Amino acid sequence: MADELILGIDLGTTNSLGAYMTPGGPVVIRDASGNSLVPSVVAFGTDGAVTVGSQARTHAVENPLSTVYSVKRLMGKGLADIREDLKFLPYAIDPGPNDTVAVRIGDGLMSPPQLSAIILREVRSRAEAALGRPIVQAVITVPAYFDDAQRQATRDAGRIAGLNVRRIVNEPTAAALAYGLDRKEDATIAVYDLGGGTFDISVLRVSGGVFQVLATNGDTHLGGDDLDMEIINLVTDGIRSQFGQEITFPPATRQALRDLAEAAKIRLSTQQQAPIEIDMGDGRVYRRTLSRQEFEVRCGKWINHTIEHCQMAMADARLTPGNIDQVVMVGGCTRIPMVLARVGEFFGRTPYTAINPDEVVAMGAAVQAGILAGMSRDTLLLDVTPLSLGIETLGGAVGKLIMRNSTVPCQASEVFTTYVDGQTSVDIHVLQGERELVADCRSLGKFQLRGLPPMPAGAPRIQVTFLIDANGILSVSARETRSGREASIQITPSHGLNKDQIDGMVKDSYKFARQDMNAHRLIDIRNEAGRILTAIDKALADAGSILSADERTLLDTAVADLKGWLDRTSQPAQPPDDDQLDAFYQIIKAANDAATPLTQAQMDSVLDKTVKGRKLTEL
């Protein structure tokens, strides 16, 4: 081991684990019984004791209100984002600060990062016991489709756990690192990652030790928990049908149902049937047998949804399934026969399952940790950002600086200016999404560039720079190049995107592509029209007397037409089509042409003042 040991951690929805890098490759941390997995469950006793992992999970039914699981689904989320989950969670969820959520523990509240930190401390404690040395640095994995809020929440959890989080790595990318560590030939790999709470599909190219992510797609709210919920719904419907619709399910029963559903799901991965038995009390017992076929019918929609994401990722990578050399399976749910069959059918090849799907992400995190510690200098990881980023421009349009699936770390800059004379401050509104208008994108944050010296409209040169670091964390800065004034922000939104927002951003960008582009063009044309009218007003005030009567009449008519058009298009019922936009350009061109004599007169006046009374040699 290198002197600087960095622990690789897979912080999972269902289970978490750690691994470290040695000269011989990644090694997974195991307890005395040889078990590598720490169930991501935290329980709080009435005496203040905190238990983590298997022990907490064992007593979950006895202590449903004080046993927390699937906390990863709460990371970086607001109350509205998890509304559908609330009906199934036995523990209480309250609003947290800044539109976040918190879990009620007794009389107090704990945030998702605080709860995740307890799990991280347990993983670190196991590693320290196994290695006989303290550990303070880590690489932690997250779903590829975790947005900035969820990544920040994960970093916060590491910090609370006393860890210096050196890198946040996407889970499917980590899996590819573990798979391709000893691979010599070039290959294009698809990593299908179906875990307890999230789904990711990433397409990577491995060449000469360089791991380049070509595209990523997924859903941060699709996983084994949803498959369990299908079984729970099936069972609760059966109970109510047999014993009466008025039956309710208290927290202890909901926790027992969850454990039962997960056990049945695991059993059906190797057997054709799973018996279910629930003691309802008062001598009432519910019994039934769940077949694999029945389970597959109930869960087919979720599996089909993952295939839809695979299709989108392949389209973004500009590849077909036939271009994929290997399909790597990650996550416990990939053991489900239907999942293996559907993935194999889509890609036209048998998925690769030689590496333990529960451990491969932690192994990849350890590989990245080894790279950071200097143990491997011939491997380079190039990841991507999943959604486009930009700022609001005049009229409610979005100026995109970083496009989705751009390789990170990355930086992009663009120069903007003002539209009002004497403007001394500029608002910078940072946005995320694929649409062309602010109203259709998600706000990440705002900041203000102040103290600009008063200048004519268009004179300031404001350089806006977006920087995404290797962890996928976004920083935005703005600098006025003439005065040197600058301001910046690190984006830390209060909550993340829900499933519908993530899916909708990408799907709507295709569905409304033409409409959005025309709406954006209309805003650009209106901005140009406003600039021309302002310039004409200034020119008329300075040199309007030089125009002949005919020229003035022509200009007044063109200006009136342009102003009338601006009024008519201020709130269009729908974006104009291409022919209408071309007609709008002609109205602007007519005003510009009518102002030409005035513009020439202004230039002549400036030249006259410049050369008057000066010798040729002085010019």
DSSP type of residue 484: -
Residue of 54, 101, 66 lying closest to 259 (CA atoms): 54
* 193 given a catalytic annotation: yes
CB neighbours of residue 202 within 10 Å: 31
Please answer whether residues 60 and 70 qualify as being in contact, where contact means their C-beta atoms are separated by less than 8 angstroms. no
CA–CA separation, 89 and 255 (whole Å): 8
Strand order in the sheet with 380-385: 326-330, 187-194, 199-207, 210-219, 380-385, 406-408
CA–CA separation, 272 and 410 (whole Å): 49
Please answer whether residues 491 and 207 qualify as being in contact, where contact means their C-beta atoms are separated by less than 8 angstroms. no
The backbone torsions φ and ψ at residue 111, rounded to the nearest 5 degrees and listed phi first, read: -80, 160
Angstrom CA distances, 561 to 195, 490, 535, 584, stand at 61, 45, 16, 11
Among 81, 156, 193, 516, the active-site one is: 193
Please answer whether residues 78 and 495 qualify as being in contact, where contact means their C-beta atoms are separated by less than 8 angstroms. yes
DSSP type of residue 452: P
Residue of 111, 219, 109, 124 lying closest to 156 (CA atoms): 111
Angle among Cα 561, 563, 565 to the nearest 5 degrees reads 70
Q: Which two tokens stand for residue 322?
A: 């036939």
Residue of 415, 359, 370 lying closest to 391 (CA atoms): 415
DSSP type of residue 421: T
Among 148, 171, 230, 383, the active-site one is: 171
Angle among Cα 8, 12, 18 to the nearest 5 degrees reads 25
| Residue 511, C-beta contacts closer than 8 angstroms, at least 6 positions apart | none
Angstrom CA distances, 583 to 6, 522, 529, 532, 578, stand at 63, 11, 13, 17, 9
Q: Which residue is listed with tokens 């100026």?
A: 399
DSSP type of residue 231: H
CA–CA separation, 151 and 72 (whole Å): 11
Amino acid at 124: R
* 10 given a catalytic annotation: yes
Sort residue 362 into left (φ over 0), alpha (ψ -120 to 50) or beta: alpha
CA–CA separation, 237 and 248 (whole Å): 11
Give catalytic residues, as residue numbers: 10, 72, 171, 193
